[in-house]
Amino acid sequence: MSNIKNILNRHIPSILVAAGHGGTHWVNAAIYILLPYITIDLGLSYTQAGLVMTVFHFSTFAANAVSGPLVDISGNGKYTRFQAYSLAIGGLAMLIMSLSNTIYILFLSVAMIGVSISLWHPAALTYLSLQYPGSRGFVLSVHSIGASIGDALSPLLAAFLLTYVTINNVNLSWNVTSGILSIPLFIVMFIILFYLKDKNETLSETDNKKSKQENYFYNLKLLLKNVQLIPLFLIAGVRTLTQNGILVFMPLYLVANQGVSAAAVIGASLFTMQIGGLFSGPIAGYLSDKHGRKIIAVGALLVSSILAPLYIIVDSNLLIITLSGLMGFAIYAGRPVVQGWALDMAPEKTSGSVIGLLFMVQVGSAAIFAIIAGIIADIYGLEIIFIILSVICLLTLALASLIRYPKSV
């Protein structure tokens, strides 16, 4: 009993960071269930809906270019503060989304969500890497559990509000739902700000900042010359565009086929996806610590390539929900693995930057795919998107499997 208590006490910081991570994914997941209703209400095409997600991903991409170096150079002793800023921006973004009556205000809100996510990861993952250097794979899987919980509960609550809550016998609108979904962000922000503490600086603030500035760009240059970034970025980019491809186009596909009544099925499907990731993340993180990152990441892509086309074959709501759970188990298994892989390769002083680079590749891939897939869907229909995702996964794992990579990095 005392051992369990000691383990829990040791991991309280990682649990709090996981809760904050859940907050950023709470707003991220809200986009996917609200977007079909926003698309109908504002009269958007699939291309415009894809463009909304492209703005989201490109803002994430651009913010990552700044957030990584910002954390590396000035983050020591301030990692928790950056995490709190991230959650505050995410909460404000949901409030702005609730006021959207044109696509341009919607662009602003999703761009702010992108900034929120970008600011979170370099600070949070560097904090965890410094706190738990000997068990990064496992601790990052705990971090991913927070994401899965946020991703699961947000669409579930949104589906409940959209389907079952009424005002004057009228279902709650997506605008009101968006405003309600902002509340947990501010709650978690205060928890992070007041209860999570950084380690004390080992050098004076002036000396520490000078030391970081002197060594940062040298270490970053060494990092960028590392050829092992190639398979990492390839797998990470495709994993993310597959994940976001399903999250964006599966709800659009269900609404196109079932109408606005599909909210409950969408919410349940997004929920089971995250529950799948909730279970697979710790397993994948542990196995990658023992057997290497690449084999787990490639295996996750293989299973994803098999499952993606099944969305256009199954016609039962129960089967769609089950399929989503299996898809989440596969695709989210790769999340802590590629993050651990990146931190394995990064000099300690550039941990934030390698995470920033990783997320730039991920969101850049997702951004490009979102707009191209939206155009393709307008021309050829939504069904072909799931086949394209499968083919991309198969091509990527074939290329990645040819690259020599050690079992343990």
**Tens-digit pLDDT profile for the chain (409 aa)?**
555 555 556 667 888 889 999 999 999 889 888 998 899 899 999 899 989 988 988 888 788 777 766 776 665 667 888 889 999 999 999 999 999 889 999 999 999 998 998 888 888 887 887 777 766 667 877 887 888 788 888 988 998 898 887 777 777 889 999 999 999 999 999 988 888 776 654 544 444 444 555 555 555 565 556 656 777 778 888 888 898 899 889 999 998 887 766 888 888 898 898 888 878 877 877 777 777 777 788 888 889 999 999 999 998 899 999 999 999 998 888 877 877 777 776 665 666 667 767 777 887 888 889 889 999 999 999 999 999 999 998 888 777 676 555 444 3
Please, which residues have CB within 8 angstroms of residue 46's CB and are 6 or more apart in sequence? 39, 252, 374, 377, 378, 382
Q: Which helix (H) or strand (E) holds 166?
A: strand 166-167
404 CB burial (10 A radius; 0-12, 13-18, 19+): exposed
Which CATH code of 1.20.1250.20, 2.40.440.10, 1.10.30.50, 3.90.1170.40 fits the domain covering 14-195+222-401? Answer: 1.20.1250.20
Taking CA atoms, 117 is separated from 26, 85, 111, 164, 360, in Å, by 11, 10, 10, 30, 11
CA distance 136 to 336: 9
The residue ranges of every structural domain in the chain are 14-195+222-401
Alpha helices in 170-292 (DSSP H): 174-181, 183-195, 205-224, 229-258, 263-291
Q: Is 325 within 8 Å of 376 (Cβ atoms)? A: no
CA distance 17 to 105: 30
Task: Write the DSSP symbol of residue 240.
Answer: H
Beta bridge partners of 167: 170
Cα 266–Cα 185–Cα 322 angle in degrees, nearest 5:
20
Residue indicated by tokens 């002197």: 214
CA distance 351 to 121: 11
Q: Which helix (H) or strand (E) holds 145?
A: helix 136-164
Reported pTM: 0.70
Q: Using CA atoms of 254, 260, 264, 270 in order, give the dihedral in degrees to the nearest 10.
A: 40
* Long-range contact pairs involving 4-10 (C-beta distance under 8 Å, separation at least 24): none
**Amino acid identity at 257:** N
Beta bridge partners of 166: 171
Under DSSP, is residue 204 helix (H, G, I), strand (E, B) or coil?
coil
